[in-house]
């Protein structure tokens, strides 16, 4: 899958934003973004992202799902290409094709450099995008960062998207991808007995739903970045962060319609809203909540529900960051540090788990 071709205007914007963010102190960034820090619910928004959000407002960027799905997909690919980090960790990357639930799926394998790659755990990664947008390119930078920081293999999966492929196609592809990784993990150079599952936003929802629905899925741990967990209950964070923080309630509503319309599946179905499901005996999880996120409260609620169900959870709260911060590591050092922190805690969590091979022999 080729990277999007940037226009001259795109390249100029990328250069300008990188230059301003790299050269200006925090106070100047806030001044250009409107003056005073953005403080909501006792949280202060990261200065770099306050500047980026103000820039987006001035250039009148549309919502995530404005227009037809294909236009929204192209817009996200363009935005992530413009915001791509100037430098990324050196990892080994190759594109491949894996078995999905209904046919071949594109995938991208990231292997850490050095001798430590052989036999390292494998993270099957599902990109965010509301089940409608996002692909291997939009999430290439965070996958490289996770691979390097966690020192483990990452298999990013281009699962089928709605509305062309509504619920439960993405769930079925997730399950198929995990089983493929378990069969082919040794060929990838990883440990097929230490398969992990994770993702951001919609991808995190798919991860927890898959482990909840398929109890025999060979997953030893989950990485859940700001997951949507409840498509029914209205929560305070929905109103607090509805305007100007990348993901709006209108976006979320449009995503849900595309995912569910015509399926007959209700929004409180646990396969849509995992907060209503049986969360006992799931793999240990690292769950990351973004402070300036309409999903903040329902992500927090999932962390609490997992703990109450006896599932081990490490809950990290990144109070200065908005939804989607894993895709903002090129414009915010705070976002990059947060993703690195999640990766390192994730590595510790995974290495603390017995491999399925050891479990088999005990």
Q: What is the pLDDT of residues 110-156, one digit of tens each?
A: 999 866 678 899 999 999 999 999 999 999 999 999 999 999 999 99
Closest to 110 measured CA to CA, from 137, 84, 80, 145: 145
Per-residue b or e along 54-88, where b marks 16 or more CB atoms closer than 10 Å to that residue's CB: bbeeeeeeeebbeeebeebbebbbbbbbbbbbeeb
Model pLDDT, residue 33: 62
What local confidence, expressed as pLDDT, does residue 358 receive?
43
Q: Which helix (H) or strand (E) holds 296?
A: helix 296-308
- Give me the pLDDT at residue 278, please: 96
Tokens encoding 218 = 């060979």
Q: What is the pLDDT of residues 263-313, one digit of tens each?
A: 999 999 999 999 999 999 999 999 999 999 999 999 999 999 999 999 999
Q: In a 3-state reduction of DSSP, which class is residue 44?
A: strand
| Full-model pTM | 0.92
Q: Which ranges of the chain have pLDDT less than 50?
A: 358, 360-362
DSSP per-residue letters across 264-277: ---TTSTTT-GGGS
Catalytic residue among 156, 201, 273, 299: 201
- Helix H or strand E encompassing 286: strand 285-292
- Which residue, among 224, 254, 31, has the nearest Cα to 132 in the 3D structure? 254
Q: Tokens 């403080």: give the residue.
A: 39
Q: Evaluate whether 329 touches 142 at the Cβ level (below 8 Å).
A: yes
In the sheet that holds 222-225, the strands lie side by side as: 91-99, 104-112, 153-157, 120-126, 190-200, 222-225, 285-292, 313-322
Identify the pLDDT of residue 40.
96
Angle made by CA atoms 63, 229, 274, in degrees to the nearest 5: 140
| CB 140, CB 330: distance < 8 Å | no
Q: What is the pLDDT, as a whole number, of residue 256?
A: 96
* The pLDDT of residue 43: 96
Helix (H, G, I), strand (E, B) or coil at 124: strand
Parallel, antiparallel or unpaired: strands 222-225 and 285-292: parallel
Sign of the dihedral defined by the CA atoms of residues 74, 94, 175, 316, in that order = negative
Assign 314 to helix, strand or coil: strand
> Which residues is 224 bridged to in the sheet?
199, 287
Catalytic residue among 109, 127, 139, 323: 323
Among candidate residues 139, 316, 140, 335, the one with its CA nearest the CA of residue 226? 316
201 a catalytic residue:
yes
Task: Assign 116 to helix, strand or coil.
Answer: helix
Q: Are the CB atoms for 106 and 97 separated by under 8 Å?
A: yes
Q: Distances from the Cα of 121 to the Cαs of 6, 172, 345, 347, in angstroms?
A: 35, 22, 14, 9
CB neighbour burial string for 187-200, b if at least 16 within 10 angstroms, e if fewer:
ebbbbbbbbbbbbb
Choosing from 293, 297, 299, 332, which is the catalytic residue?
293
Whether 156 is a known active-site residue: answer no
């Amino acid at each position: 899958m080729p990277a999007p071709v940037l226009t001259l205007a795109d390249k100029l914007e990328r250069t300008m934003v990188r230059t301003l963010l790299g050269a200006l102190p925090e106070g100047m960034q806030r001044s250009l973004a409107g003056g005073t820090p953005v403080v909501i619910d006792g949280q202060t928004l990261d200065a770099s992202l306050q500047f980026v959000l103000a820039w987006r407002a001035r250039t009148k960027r549309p919502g995530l799902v404005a227009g037809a799905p294909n236009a929204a997909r192209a817009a996200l690919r363009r935005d992530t290409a413009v915001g791509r980090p100037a430098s990324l960790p050196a990892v080994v990357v190759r594109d491949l094709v894996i078995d999905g639930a209904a046919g071949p799926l594109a995938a991208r394998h990231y292997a850490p450099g050095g001798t430590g790659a052989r036999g390292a755990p494998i993270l099957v990664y599902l990109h965010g995008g509301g089940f409608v947008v996002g692909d291997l390119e939009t999430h290439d930078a965070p996958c490289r960062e996770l691979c390097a920081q966690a020192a483990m293999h990452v298999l990013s999966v281009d699962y089928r998207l709605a509305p062309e492929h509504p619920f439960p196609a993405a769930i079925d592809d997730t399950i198929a991808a995990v089983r493929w990784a378990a069969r082919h993990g040794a060929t990838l150079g990883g440990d097929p007995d230490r398969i992990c599952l994770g993702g951001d936003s919609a991808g995190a929802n798919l991860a927890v739903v898959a482990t909840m629905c398929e109890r025999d899925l060979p997953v030893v741990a989950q990485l859940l970045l700001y997951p949507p967990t409840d498509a029914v209950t209205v929560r305070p964070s929905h109103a607090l962060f509805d305007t100007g923080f990348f993901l709006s309630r209108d976006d979320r509503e449009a995503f849900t319609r595309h995912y569910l319309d015509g399926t007959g599946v209700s929004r409180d179905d646990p396969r849509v809203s995992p907060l209503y499901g049986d969360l006992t005996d799931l793999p240990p999880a690292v769950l990351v909540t973004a402070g300036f996120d309409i999903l903040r409260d329902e992500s927090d609620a999932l962390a609490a529900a997992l703990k109450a169900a006896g599932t081990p959870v490490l809950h990290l709260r990144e109070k200065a960051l908005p939804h989607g911060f894993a895709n903002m590591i090129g414009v915010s050092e705070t976002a990059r540090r947060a993703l690195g922190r999640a990766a390192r805690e994730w590595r510790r969590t995974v290495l603390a788990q017995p491999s399925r091979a050891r479990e088999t022999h005990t």
